[in-house]
């Protein structure tokens, strides 16, 4: 395996660990013959480390991000993004990790009181899979409302749905891109 895992390496790791599943309905209302469950892979430390370190090597190619690593905070939607967030924070030696959570799918995400980004803070959004972009869009808005600055996005697998937003001009880093499933 190379310093940054190739798309084929990532897919192989997902297959070995049950992170790439066949014939399953996605929880976001889409049907596909392949379902990605990165959490199944991130439960194995050795694979979580390979994926997290590989993703940080891509992040370090951006000179602006590399210059702010010591002040960079990592923010993820719980729960799928947390293993990725901690892996990236450890590999980068970034400042800290925040997460947003929700009680159920009908309620908005929220930060726990006292555990949220501060004005002027530089934020890297991370998640395990980017499909619809709803969670990351909501999270980005919450961060910006607090006066913090989102400087990039990092995900393990990009599997964009047809309506997935374009986060440009923010840089988007990912290890593998898979075809999107059909909306159902």
The CATH number of residue 165's host domain is: 3.40.50.2020
15 inside domain: no
Looking at residue 61, its pLDDT comes to 94
40 inside domain: no
Q: How confident is the model over 14-42, as a mean pLDDT?
A: 77
165 inside domain: yes
Domain encompassing residue 70: 48-176
Q: How confident is the model over 108-117, as a mean pLDDT?
A: 92
184 inside domain: no
Q: How confident is the model over 61-81, as a mean pLDDT?
A: 93
Out of 32-41, 75-84, 89-98, give the one with best mean pLDDT: 89-98
- pTM here is 0.90
Tally the domains of the chain: 1
Q: Which of 22-26, 30-34, 107-111 has the least mean pLDDT? A: 22-26
Looking at residue 22, its pLDDT comes to 77
CA distance to 42, 159, 163, 170, per residue, from 181 (Å):
22, 8, 12, 25
Nearest to residue 49, comparing CAs of 91, 12, 10, 101?
91
Question: Average pLDDT, whole number, for the chain?
Answer: 90
140 inside domain: yes
Tell me: pLDDT of 184 over 50: no
- Give the tokens for residue 19: 């992170």
Q: How confident is the model over 51-57, as a mean pLDDT?
A: 96
Tell me: pLDDT of 79 over 90: no
Classify strands 20-22 and 34-36 as parallel, antiparallel or unpaired: antiparallel
26 inside domain: no
Q: How confident is the model over 9-28, as a mean pLDDT?
A: 81
Looking at residue 115, its pLDDT comes to 93
3-state class (DSSP) for residue 25: strand
Q: How confident is the model over 102-112, as a mean pLDDT?
A: 89
Looking at residue 104, its pLDDT comes to 86
70 inside domain: yes
């Amino acid at each position: 395996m190379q310093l940054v895992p190739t798309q084929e390496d990532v897919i192989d790791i997902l297959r070995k660990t049950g992170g790439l599943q066949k014939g399953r309905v996605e929880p976001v209302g889409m049907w596909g013959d392949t379902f990605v469950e990165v959490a199944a892979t991130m439960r194995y430390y050795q694979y979580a480390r390979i994926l997290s370190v590989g993703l940080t090597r891509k992040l370090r190619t951006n000179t602006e991000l590399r210059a702010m690593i010591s002040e960079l905070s990592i923010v993820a939607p719980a729960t799928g993004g947390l293993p990725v967030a901690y892996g990236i924070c450890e590999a980068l030696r970034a400042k800290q990790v925040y997460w947003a959570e929700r009680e159920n799918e009908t309620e908005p995400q929220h930060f726990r009181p006292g555990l949220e980004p501060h004005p002027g803070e530089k934020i890297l959004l991370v998640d395990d899979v980017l499909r619809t972009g709803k969670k990351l869009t909501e999270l980005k808005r919450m961060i910006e409302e607090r006066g913090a600055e989102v400087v990039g996005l990092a995900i393990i697998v990009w599997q964009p749905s047809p309506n997935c937003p374009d986060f440009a001009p923010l840089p988007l880093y990912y290890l593998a891109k898979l075809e999107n499933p059909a909306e159902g």
